[in-house]
Amino acid sequence: MSVGKHAKYCDICGTEYSFRTVKLCPVCKTKKCASCNKIKLLKNFYQDANITNGFAAYCTSCDKEKKKNSYIKDKSIHRRRNLKRTYNITLDEYDRLFEVQNGVCAICGKKETRRNKYNVWHLAVDHSHESGKVRGLLCGNCNSMLGFVKDKPDLLLKAYFYLNKIGRIK
């Protein structure tokens, strides 16, 4: 079977296929990574419906490394995008709110103590799930607490009375 001037032979099984349209060996299910140039099994590539052959250009290990380096290079790009997409606020608006709250949680008044693998964790943006309006910045514990009670003040009031009643028993 001849596939014309764009023919390519698989380095592993020798099958001839059209590199122009397929870019992977349909027989042994392999593909060459565009970054490391190693031939790897398709299971080592993320599936991507936007690409003709259905698989990403980079293998998973190269893709992870590129994303990690991109994140470390400029963390603010990711924060800006996330703040705008999720809460419709800019990084400057977040920073102003942070300054107004003196860098502490709007509920407990403490600084954020949680850390991620990059050793930074910002105060969470608290917002109304109905209106989307930003209410303030909270530490992870207070933000989780509001999430557990589903932003219902009556549940918080019941918890308050419960804790006071239990406190008197001891």
Mean residue pLDDT across the chain: 83
Residue 118 lies in a domain: yes
pLDDT, greater one: 134 or 76: 134
More confident residue, 52 or 105: 105
Asked if residue 64 and residue 8 are part of one domain, the reply reads: yes
User: Global pTM?
Assistant: 0.55
Question: What is the spatial distance between Cα 140 and Cα 36, in angstroms, rounded to a whole number?
Answer: 39
Do 100 and 148 reside in the same domain of the chain? yes
- For the cut 60, the answer to whether the pLDDT of residue 41 exceeds it is yes
Examine residue 78 and state whether it is found in any structural domain, yes or no: no
Which residues form the domain of 149?
96-169
pLDDT more than 70, % of the chain: 85
Report the 3 state secondary structure along the chain: CCCHHHEEECCCCCCEEECCCCCCECCCCEEECCCCCCEEEHHHEEECCCCCCCEEEEEHHHHHHHHHHHHHHCHHHHHHHHHHHHHCCCHHHHHHHHHHCCCCCCCCCCCCCCCCCCCCCCCEEEECCCCCCEEEEECHHHHHHHHHCCCCHHHHHHHHHHHHHHHHHC
Q: What is the pLDDT of residue 150?
A: 86
For residues 99 and 3, which has the higher predicted lDDT (pLDDT)?
99
Quick one: 49 and 109 in the same domain? no
Clarify whether residues 125 and 163 are in a common domain.
Answer: yes
| Domain shared by 105 and 53, yes or no | no
**For residue range 65-103, what is the model confidence (pLDDT) as tens digits?**
988 887 767 777 878 888 999 999 999 999 999 999 999
Q: 122 and 159: one domain?
A: yes
Q: pLDDT at residue 166 above 80?
A: no
| Per-residue pLDDT tens over the stretch 45-55 | 998 878 777 88
- Number of separate domains in the chain: 2
Asked whether the predicted pLDDT for residue 31 surpasses 50, the reply is: yes
